[in-house]
Amino acid sequence: MNTKNIIIIIVAVVIIGIIASFGLKFLTFNSLKKAVEEEQEKIIEEVKENNDAPMKVEKLIDIGEPAPEITLEDLNGNTVSLKDYEGEKIVLLNFWASWCPPCRAEMPDLDKLYEENKDDDFIVLAVNLGESEDTVKKFIEQNGYGFPVLLDKTQEVGITYQTFSIPTSVMVDKEGKIRAYRPGLMTYAEMKEMLDYTRGQ
């Protein structure tokens, strides 16, 4: 089952649960929206309270442990591995797809963070899940993004990193250890906070 189908199933389950709680007769768009937002806020607050790294979720990813190795092709046909950056760069792995609205929404901020720090100790590796090279290349070129893009055509890397929803971002330090994990859309400020946290480790 691909990532898109998993997301659809999760959303469907959430909606069914909310309908069961409110009753279909009294369910309106506003009440549905409010209920979903309240559940999201609960999850975010639990993550913040239980973890000292920005928005990390230790039950999904082992913070402080070595990041699983990645070897994928980029849009130029070059083979790129996570270990290529050990000792030199902090790596932000961002798992995404062009059909995903939250992924598209955060990409300008992701590109901004990359452009501001690419000449220092930081790089973004945007890992596309399951789309064709032509689709991904067209999307990146149309939007003028400069960060490197890797193609996870089989979505095996996404599964390894437990990307149950997208976008999902994982920050890996220069030693190759995972320092932060964040499912969901991020603002520029949150991305910068995650980078600053990792630099301080």
Looking at residue 154, its pLDDT comes to: 93
End-to-end CA distance of the chain: 37
Same domain, 135 and 95: yes
Same domain, 44 and 75: no
In a domain, 64, yes or no: no
Q: What is the pLDDT of residues 92-118, one digit of tens each?
A: 999 999 999 999 999 999 999 999 999
Range of the structural domain that residue 44 is part of: 3-50
More confident residue, 128 or 55: 128
- Indicate the pTM of the whole model: 0.71
What CATH number should be reported for the domain holding residue 150?
A: 3.40.30.10
How many domains is the chain built from?
A: 2
